[in-house]
Structure formats: C-alpha cells, structure tokens
Amino acid sequence: MKLNTSAAPHLRTKNSTKKVMIDVLIALIPATIFAVWAFGLKALYIILLSTISAELLEFVTMRFLRKRKDFTPDFSASVTGLLLGLNLSLAVTWYHVLIGVLVAIILGKHVFGGLGQNIFNPALVGRVFLVVSFPIAMTTWDIPFNNTELITSATPLGLLASSGPAEALQNYSYMDMFLGKIPGSIGEISALALIIGFVYLVIRKRIKLMVPITYISSVFIMTGILWLINPDSYATPLFHLLAGGLLLGAFFMATDMVTSPMTMKGQFVFGLGIGLLTVIIRVFGAFPGGVSFAILIMNAFVPLIDLWTKPRIYGTKLKGDVK
Amino acid sequence: MAFLTFKGGVHPPEKKELSEKKEIKALPLPNEVFIYLSNHLGTPAKPIVEVGQKVKTGQMIAQAEGFISANIHSSVTGEITEITEMINAATGKKDKIIVIKRTSDDEWHLFEEIKDFKKETSEVLIQRIKDSGIVGLGGAMFPTHVKLSIPKGKKADTLIINSAECEPYITIDDRMMIERTQEIFKGIEIIMHIIGAQHTYVGVENNTPKAIKSMEEAAKNDQIDVVKLQTKYPQGAEKQLIKAITNKEVPIGKLPIDIGIVVVNVSTAFAVYEAVFKGKPLVERGISLTGEGVKEPGNYIFRIGTKVKELLDVCGLVEEDKIDRILYGGPMMGIPLPDINLSTFKGNNALTVMTKDVVKTDKTYPCIRCSACVMVCPTGLQPYLMKKLLDNRKQDDAKEIGIMDCIECGACSYICPSHIDLAKTFKTSKKIIRIMSQRKGK
C-alpha cells in the first residue's frame, strides 16, 4: 500500500486566498451597480476596462516577466483593478485608466515582489499617480442621474473647502450623501451601497474589522470636536463620514490585508493614524480629500507598527517577572 | 454558560461521531508482537532477555537506561524470536525492537496488589509506577515516574488531569471516562497521594457531555473538580490547558511544576490505577481506530507492539486506492506511517486512516498577511514572520522572535488561506537550530 507521508497537520481549511479575493469582489458589486446606475454606461466602461486590464497585466507579468509558468489568476489583481476603477472620476479617458492600472500593478505591486510583498495599497498608488499627473481629469466631477452631457460641479468636500459647511449642506442633504446623489468618484458616492458590501465582508469574516472601526470613529470624534468648537467653519462629523472617499477607503482600501498590521493592537494604531491624517488633510490641507494620502502614509508605517505591537509570547512578561 | 479556554486556537471539523458511541472492546491477542525499545521519551531501554527465552505477559523484557527512560514488558505470553530493527515513523530511522511469538493464552506476571495505597509512601508507589513502565499516554510518552518525582524545594499543590481530547476523530479518552470512571478516580487519588496535591482539576472539552456527566457523578470528593472547557484545538496542549483552568502561565523555559502544577493524561491515570491496584504493568491500552478509511471505526484495547496492519484488519479498510495516509494519532499532529507493517507504541491513542477525498492538498498562494496565523497561534507567535525569516535563512532572527517556543500544534498551517506549510517549516527549523547551537557549544 502506497502511503502519503506529508507532514502534519493533515486537515486544512477549505478557505483559500482566491476565495478571499472573490468575496472582496462580491462585496464591491453593490457599489459597482450603483455607479453604473448613477453615471451610465461610461462608468461600466471605466470599471470593466480597469478590472480586466489589471487582471490581464498581472497574468502577463507573472507568466512572462516573472516566468511563473504555473500561475493561474488568484483575482487579487481584479480587486486592485476594480478598486482603482471605482476611485476614478467619470471624466477620465481610456488611457488614464490604462496608465493607472499599469502604475498600480507594476509600480504598486510587482516592483516589491508581487502579491503579498507590496508596502502600499496598489490601487491607491495608481489613483494618486493619476491625481498628480492628470489633476483636471481626475477632479472634474459629474452630477449623478443626469442624462444630458457632463455637468461639472463641486463635491461636498470641494464645496466645504471653498465655501464652508453651510453652503455645502445647502446643496446636498445628508440623505443625498447617504444614498449617493452627490458628485464624486464613481464608486464612492453611495454610502448605502458601500455599507452593504461591508456587511457582507463582516459576515464572511474577510476583513480586519478593527481598522474601519477605529478609522471611522476617530474621524467622527476629531471632526466632532472641531465642530463643537466652531460649527460655523467646521462641518459636522456626519458630513465628514458621508462625504468623499472615507467609507470606500475605510471599508475596502485601509483594510487591504497585505498593507495593514497583523494584530488587533496594530490595527487600532493604524486606523487611528489614518483617521488623524484624514482629518488634518481635509481640514488644513490643500486637497479637499485626504483619504488616499492618509492610507498611503500609514501603509508606510505598517512594518514599524507590527514591530511595536507584536503579540505577547505565552509565558513571558508575566506579573512578578523581574525583568 | 461560558466554558474556560486559552487565547487563539482553531475549530477543525470534530469527526468524533465516527467512533464516540462505540464501546471499548478488547482486541483478540496478536500472534506476534514487535516491541520498540524506544517506547518512551529519553534513552531507549536495554534488553534483558535473549532470543529463545520464554516470557509471560507482563514480564519485563527491557530495563530503563538512565534517568529519563522506562521499563518495557512483554505484552503476550510466548517466546522471544528475534531482537532486530524496525523503522520508527516519528524519526524515520531504524530502532531496535524485540519480537515475541505468542505461544499460548495469557499467563500473567503480576506485581503484588496494593489496595490500601494511602498507607504507602510516595517512594513505594513511584517505584511501582517505574516498575510498571508507565509513560504519558496522551502521546508524549514522558516517563510518568519522573514526572511524579517532585524535585526537592518544589511543591505540587495542583494536579490537572488532561481529558481535553482536542484532536479531531479521537474518542478513546472520552470512552475511558464513560466506561472506566471509578478506576480513573482511583488513579487520580493515587497520583494526588504521591505528589501531595491539595486539589485536582479534570479538564474536559464540552463536546463530550456523557463523559462530563459520569466524571461529575463520580467526583464526590470535594478535592476534585471537573472543569468544562471550550471545544477548541489545541485545548489539550499542556500549557494551554493550564492557562484555561488556572489562568496561570508556565514561565518561559520552566516546567509546570515550577508553578506548582502537575499535568497527567486521563489514560495515564487509568494505567496508574492498574499498576497499583492490580499490579499490572503497562502492556495494553485503549485506542481509537478511526477515520473515513476504516470500515468500522471503534474504540479498542490493544496489546502494545501489535502491528498496525493487524489492528486495522480488525475494523477493515476501504479500497486501497482511496486511502491517502495512515496516522499515529489524529490529523492535527499525527505522525504519518510510511508503511502499514510497522508496530505500535505505548503513546498511540489512535490510528487515523485518512482518505484522499478528506485530505485535499490545495494550491499554495503567496502570504497575503491576512493575520489568521497570528490570531490562532496559542503561544502568541508570529508564524508569517518566522516563515519569512526562515525562508531567507535567518535562523537567528527567527529564534529571536520565539520560534523555539512553538509547540508545533499546526493551528497556523490549518488556518492559512494560502495553504503555506508553516508548522512543518518550524518543526524542521527547530531541529536545525538545536543542532547548530549544540555545535557552537551553547
């Protein structure tokens, strides 16, 4: 009788990295559907182009540049591509999308060594590259549910920066912001759609939950303090939660497993840091939105955070230890 | 009600239903036994018999050699036919064995019965346990007489009976607690008397309600508490069990006795009872023969040294091409057998036959830092980081972050969505690090 003598454990989880990626894609479906509903076929075109070209580029890179002959898609590149697409403005053209994908997959991921090795969230690397290279295309916002030609208008955060909280709230109600009747990146506008996807991830246990919890609550508390100090010049915390890319960033970008810390404590510090930076950039910075930059900056701190917050080893640092 | 537990751990499928309702049956006597001289942790025992010599069941055939070692007894009545070698699956190397051909039914070679053990000193009882060749029957096979000899200056106030059968499939301790309750309690009382423990906790996982019930009914003595534990792997690991029950941790580099605790497996307590009350050396024990590859899984008493094939023939195997592997023990830490014609050890609490459709080797992906391994590690290690360091041959750095404290439970490998062989790497690397530091003379 031929017996297999592979090492223990002999039972393994039925879970897999591929299944994790597929679940993230599923969780982004509500936001995708809403984007297409609100912005029409152009949004679908951007999202599909970005997702498919990312997966293709990953395949070509792995098979031909990195010579991994047995590589089959794990859909991590699709997640990157889809997130990048959802982070774009409707005003971009096909070459913006392709440049973004190229930067995300190659500069954001493969120069570090591919899946699992990258320091920064690849989709955000692509987005930020586009924001600084093509500022006009990336910040020309269309009004959703408008069937005529592109009508440029300011996002809630843009209005807040230029004209203050009262003006911003006159144009867009909280309900508009919750449902997604506001200008913005095609996938970020509907808080509701994002929350549905988030709940799916929580139910499927596919998310480092501590990150969005600390991120969102720290933004809420800090903007709340500012608002209490001076409600005339600072927006309400609720406004900050619903405006801009905060929820998309908190649920889907900051929680990227590769670029976030490994322990609960670390994830707490990480979420807090992103919250602090987001508020600082939004309130005091030159850009109206700060989520992308805040997450990227904290990504860079992850190795340090992991070092500071490593778990306690059983039997060490006990009460009464001399050391 | 909240059940006690430790931090971390995993919930593999339990698979206890295959054999948990099967009463313990004695297997027919084997016609031939092959007894390893390394049937315990430590130095192999030294043979004291010659080829051609006739031996009785329970007669000593090899003597403990050195401090950590144990005596070995014939498990049948018959004739020594050979002293030769056989592969030991745990090490992959050949070990000495004594082969005995059975010539008749059992003629026992027993010690004098000690019924009133409370009148005896610890020394007398420990000597009896040593004479009987008792080792830790949970699997580690550490000589029990060494464990129960409390070093000078130390005190054992708490005894913990390890009945947390946390490996999937295995049900023998569960059945022992249901069917041999009184004997186990006598064994516990003997051990308490030997080490002078004030209190005993019997730690049982909450997926064995019948065993909990019979143990609770028998625990009339207010010095013995039955403690219900969460069903979680590795609940039965010594240090995790201590944490769950007493909320104390064994300091790094120390032993449980350093914090006044002795942990003994429930089947070992039964063996202690048999040695003292019946004068019977350890020649047989309970075992679960289980797994999807076994036609009639069940719980049995077998003679130590019976060949694996002979044991499995009793319960029948499924078609050969469906069988993937056969394990000493359960699927989380079990040792795979290279050959079905090997023999059995005192520490074998199960033989698990796993089929190909249960063991699916999935594709490996790169680590995506999902943090699952960090969350489940019962020791508080960072498996993903240790693996990364070891892949880059940074053994010293891996040592720095605690690889030597790894208990090799395999929870990290089990949970990893990228199916990375973490525990296997740690096990081999620990061996390498140990050899390297020996060479450096540290």
A135 contact B CB<8A: no
In whole angstroms, give the CA distance from residue B79 to residue B55.
Answer: 6
Q: Output the six-digit token pair for B309.
A: 């094939």
Which residues numbered 15-44 in A keep a CB inside 8 Å of some CB on B?
A: 15-20
Residue B417 has its nearest CB partner, among A13, A263, A314, at A13
- The ranges assigned to domains in chain B are 16-20+132-277, 372-439
Q: What is the reported pLDDT for B240?
A: 96
Question: B127 in the Ramachandran plot: left (φ > 0), alpha (ψ -120 to 50) or beta?
Answer: alpha
Nearest alpha carbon to residue B230 among B203, B263, B202: B203
In whole angstroms, give the CA distance from residue B256 to residue B253.
Answer: 10
B332 contacts B167 by C-beta, under 8 angstroms: yes
pLDDT digits (tens, 9 = 90+) for B128-137: 999 999 999 9
- Sign of the CA dihedral running B315, B316, B318, B321: positive
Mean pLDDT within A106-113: 95
pTM of the entire structure? 0.93
- A319 phi/psi in degrees, rounded to 5: -60, 135
B363 contacts B380 by C-beta, under 8 angstroms: no
CATH class of B16-20+132-277: alpha beta
Residue B333 has its nearest CB partner, among A8, A208, A263, at A8
pLDDT digits (tens, 9 = 90+) for B189-245: 999 999 999 999 999 999 999 999 999 998 877 899 999 999 999 999 999 999 999
ipTM: 0.91
Residue B4 per-residue DSSP state: B
pLDDT digits (tens, 9 = 90+) for B316-343: 999 999 999 999 999 999 999 999 999 9
In whole angstroms, give the CA distance from residue B429 to residue A102.
Answer: 39
What's the maximum distance between 2 C-alpha atoms anywhere in chain A? Answer: 81
Using a CB-CB cut-off of 8 Å, the residues of chain A touching B360 are: 12
First to last CA, chain B: 49
For B415, the closest chain A residue by CA position comes to A13
User: Would the CB atoms of B323 and A11 count as touching at under 8 Å?
Assistant: no
Rounded to 10 degrees, the C-alpha dihedral B213/B202/B349/B235 comes to 100
Mean pLDDT within A42-47: 95
In whole angstroms, give the CA distance from residue B286 to residue B266.
Answer: 11
In whole angstroms, give the CA distance from residue A303 to residue A240.
Answer: 29
Using a CB-CB cut-off of 8 Å, the residues of chain A touching B384 are: 262
Q: b vs e for A72-108, b when ≥16 Cβ sit within 10 Å of the residue's Cβ?
A: eebbbbbbbbbbbbbbbbbbbeeebbebbbbbbbbbb
For A6, the closest chain B residue by CA position comes to B336
Identify the band that residue B442 occupies on the pLDDT scale cut at 50, 70 and 90: low
Q: Chains A and B: how many Cβ contacts under 8 Å?
A: 159
Q: What is the reported pLDDT for A161?
A: 85
Domains and CATH numbers, chain A: 17-308 (1.10.3430)
Residue B257 per-residue DSSP state: G
The DSSP code sequence of B41-97 is: SSSPPEE---TT-EE-BT-EEEE--SSS---EE-SSSEEEEEEEEEE-TTTSSEEEE
